Amino acid sequence: MSETPSGMSPEDVVDDAPPGSIAADVPSDAAVLAEREGMNITSRSFGRQTWDRFRRHRLALIAAIVLALLATAFIVGPWLSPYGFSERDVLNMRSGPTAEHPFGTDTIGRDLMVRTFLGGRFSLRIALIVALLTTLIGTVIGAIGGYFGGTVDTIVNQTINLFLIIPALVVLLVVGVRFAASPNSIAFLLAILLWPTIARVVRGLFLQYKEQEFVLAAKAAGARAPRIMFRHILPNTFGPIVVNATLLIGVAIILESTLSFLGVGVQPPTPTLGNLIEESKGQLDSKPSAVLIPGGFIVAITLCVNFLGDGLRDALDPTSRKG
């Protein structure tokens, strides 16, 4: 028999043994223990771990399904209706929900189901544009301030604080009264006012990660600042950025609806959930469904987005061991 080489344990011999040899067929203590306990020791990717944690968050999973169903209804619903969004049914003006008009009709006979679905489509479009623009602007500015520090960080931090104290609703009201509001202009204005939310989060994360060993190693290897910022540090901030961007969708929905309700948001004939409520507010006593249905969609979207954000926060947390 051959002896074990000096300084090596029997386990080392097993690990170094070529495939097919007798030593390679001897199970290690860890494998034997795992087999006895019925454990699965196959490794899982980060994406698989994230999905496993997310699907255990029941509210978040339900919220994602409801959001998908609402988005599908907003996109497909108007095509399935025999009525156009501006088509009038003069024989059924101001009617409540019926088989012909499931959501009823407005004061001039337009089908409210079609208009509500189109309004939801425009509201979601505005919210998604706001989330994307806000994330882009906030990530870039926060990354610059957090990575470079010093005077640059002071300027960025003070700019963030300045925007945070600006009364966003007042600014939006003034701009909405002064200029004609379209879905794209409202989305751009909201993004300009909401980017500090993302920037503050990204700045804090960059301040934390820029002193880590992998960043110092990249600097020692000669990597330039943009590569270190967006190639090495930014992927580690992906989770918090996604969570905050998701939550901003709900904020944008509420702000857009508030502006439209006050009459300075997106103007008719373009329907949104907010201006549908504004058009029907005089019928709250006689036909509450005209107000409650679009209002219910706003509440449902906002709740689902918040539940989804909570689930993504838990699922994308690398320190979590759930799932």
Q: Which two tokens stand for residue 255?
A: 């702000």
Q: Which residues of 32-47 are buried (b: 16+ CB within 10 A; e: fewer)?
A: eeeeeeeeeeeeeeee
End-to-end CA distance of the chain: 47
Check if the beta carbon of residue 101 is closer than 8 Å to that of residue 113: yes
Residue type, 105: T
- Is the pLDDT confidence value at 197 over 80? yes
Give me the phi and psi of 110, to 5 degrees please. Answer: -80, 145
CA distance 199 to 194: 9
| Residue 323 falls inside a structural domain | no
What does the pLDDT average to over 21-38?
44
Q: Which residues of 234-258 are buried (b: 16+ CB within 10 A; e: fewer)?
A: bebbebbbbbbbbbbbbbbbbbbbb
Q: Are residues 21 and 160 in the same domain?
A: no
Going by pLDDT thresholds of 50, 70 and 90, the confidence category of residue 285 is: confident
| Residue 207 falls inside a structural domain | yes
- Is the pLDDT confidence value at 34 over 60? no
Q: Supply the pLDDT for residue 297.
A: 94
- Is the pLDDT confidence value at 277 over 80? yes
| Residue 230 falls inside a structural domain | yes
- Is the pLDDT confidence value at 205 over 70? yes
- Is the pLDDT confidence value at 317 over 90? no
Q: What share of the chain is helix, strand, coil (3-state, %, to 5)?
A: 70, 0, 30
Q: Are residues 27 and 78 in the same domain?
A: no
- Is the pLDDT confidence value at 43 over 60? no
Q: Supply the pLDDT for residue 14.
A: 42
Q: Are residues 106 and 151 in the same domain?
A: yes
Q: Supply the pLDDT for residue 24.
A: 43
| Residue 321 falls inside a structural domain | no
For the chain, give the percent of residues with pLDDT over 90: 31
Distance of CA 123 to the CA centre of its chain: 15
CA distance 105 to 270: 17
| Residue 283 falls inside a structural domain | yes
Q: Are residues 11 and 52 in the same domain?
A: no
Task: Give residue-wise pLDDT tens across range 44-57.
Answer: 676 788 888 888 88
CA distance 140 to 306: 24
Q: Are residues 12 and 139 in the same domain?
A: no
Q: Supply the pLDDT for residue 12.
A: 46
Q: Are residues 30 and 115 in the same domain?
A: no
Q: Are residues 67 and 205 in the same domain?
A: yes
Distance of CA 181 to the CA centre of its chain: 25
Average pLDDT over the chain, rounded to whole?
81
Q: Supply the pLDDT for residue 33.
A: 41
Q: Which domain holds residue 150?
A: 48-315
Check if the beta carbon of residue 111 is closer than 8 Å to that of residue 89: yes
Q: Are residues 198 and 58 in the same domain?
A: yes
Mean pLDDT lowest among 127-131, 178-182, 195-199, 315-319: 178-182
Q: Supply the pLDDT for residue 157.
A: 93
Q: Are residues 207 and 307 in the same domain?
A: yes
| Residue 20 falls inside a structural domain | yes
CA distance 95 to 112: 10
Q: Supply the pLDDT for residue 71.
A: 93
Give me the phi and psi of 275, to 5 degrees please. Answer: -75, -20
Task: Give residue-wise pLDDT tens across range 64-116.
Answer: 999 999 999 999 988 888 888 788 888 888 888 888 888 988 888 888 899 99
Q: What is the pTM of this model?
A: 0.77
- Is the pLDDT confidence value at 35 over 80? no
Q: Are residues 25 and 149 in the same domain?
A: no
Which of 27-31, 228-232, 264-268, 286-290 has the highest average model confidence (pLDDT)?
A: 228-232
Q: What is the CATH number for 116? A: 1.10.3720.10
Check if the beta carbon of residue 276 is closer than 8 Å to that of residue 294: yes
Q: Supply the pLDDT for residue 319.
A: 59
Q: Supply the pLDDT for residue 30.
A: 44
| Residue 322 falls inside a structural domain | no
| Residue 1 falls inside a structural domain | no
Q: Are residues 168 and 290 in the same domain?
A: yes
CA distance 206 to 200: 10
State how far the alpha carbon of 160 is from the alpha carbons of 14, 26, 144, 156, in Å: 58, 61, 13, 6
Q: Supply the pLDDT for residue 104.
A: 86
- Is the pLDDT confidence value at 236 over 80? yes
Number of independent structural domains in the chain? 2
Q: Are residues 11 and 54 in the same domain?
A: no
